[in-house]
Amino acid sequence: MGVAPAGRRGDDAELPDWNQQIVDEFRANGGTVQTMGSGRGLVLVHHLGARSGQERINPVANIPEEDGSRLVAASKASAPDNPDWYHDLLAHPDVTIETPDGVEQVHVTDLKGAERDAAWERSMQMSDGFAADGKKTDRVIPVLRLTLIS
């Protein structure tokens, strides 16, 4: 969200409360989140748990693209593993997102190779938090494309 990546605060026990605070601020302010300087750089991703099937909402930093798609990086603040929402989105790739401009139905694609690398570079340029995360982990941080479903 330095927009620093979602999940930047505390351990997993604290994460739901942190996420809920961001979700509440996003909704109360028409998509603007002042916490951690996020501004209008977040979307709320509604998805199902990969194993549980439970509905979840995660605020994530995104980069809008000219074609209407969005890029999101699964950095998890340089943790050695990917965030749970990443696995959820791979298991159930058709999701709803709340944007500052409304609700969209999107399809998630896990970017690979040069396409992923270029998207990760854009993420690091957008956020000092992402740039720092990339230096703190040996993990290749996944980048996902959220493409509008017509």
Q: Domains of the chain by range and CATH?
A: 15-148 (2.30.110.10)
Strands (E), 26-78: 42-48, 55-61, 63-64, 70-73
Helix (H, G, I), strand (E, B) or coil at 55: strand
CA-based diameter of the chain, in Å?
39
The answer to which of 1-5, 75-79, 136-140 has the lowest mean pLDDT is 1-5
Cβ–Cβ under 8 Å, residues 86 and 74: yes
Q: 24: which 2 tokens?
A: 């509440």
Q: 136: which 2 tokens?
A: 């703190």
For the ranges 57-61, 131-135, 136-140, the one whose mean pLDDT is highest: 57-61
What pLDDT sits at residue 138?
Answer: 83
Q: Determine the average pLDDT of the residues in 29-43.
A: 91
Residue 10 has pLDDT above 60, yes or no: no
Q: 135: which 2 tokens?
A: 């230096």
Residue 11 has pLDDT above 60, yes or no: no
Q: Who contacts 117 (Cβ-Cβ below 8 Å, separation ≥6)?
A: none
The band of 5, judged by pLDDT with boundaries at 50, 70 and 90, is very low
